[in-house]
Amino acid sequence: MLTKIRQRSIVKLYAYCSHPRYRFLVCQFIEGANLASILSNDERAIHFHWQRRISLIRDVAQALSYLHNDVHPPIVHRDITSRNILLDANYKAFVSDFGVARMLKPDSSNWTALAGTYGYIAPEFSYTSVVTDKCDVYSFGVVAFEVLMGKHPGDVQNFLSSLNDQFLPKEILDKRLQRPKNEEAKDVRRCISLAFVGLHPSPKERPTMLKIYRDFFI
């Protein structure tokens, strides 16, 4: 199924080999680095300006919406993290690493063992092992905050509870960049809002990636 996917923000899988002696994938080459390494490098983070960060959040939202709604059966990535988002030389984002991805089958309960990366896994996995598209929505919310803050927010629920209702964006935005202004500031505030709705502790209260993409970027 992954070889059939042709979406501009998903790393393409061209071919694979499964042999008793050799197992490998032939994937699209992305000449940049992953998001985590860029955010951890002060010089590269400065070049990763607000417009590029907003574009990355939009592109990842579109890619996840595609996986959840335009692929049949739908695919849940299950490990959306800053290490699994690659950027090319122009800071264009590509979702990669489908090693723990699952197809959602309507005739199945979709139970599975815990998979993903600590700090990005949805809280419902503490009491259920059912895979849903809302798992990716939560991970996307974490990544969105990470892009805006320039670092992982840490314990997500503690981070959210530490913010009061009147907090200012400048309190959490990456201090290595100049404060966004005018239209750019509106776009950043919109990205903060979508990060919040994606991180709702209840999966039922989280919007779908399709709704996030349509409501915030179209």
Residues involved in catalysis: 79
Amino acid at 84: N
CA distance 201 to 90: 35
Burial grade of 19 (CB within 10 A; 0-12, 13-18, 19 or more): exposed
**Nearest-angstrom CA–CA distance, 43 and 41:** 6
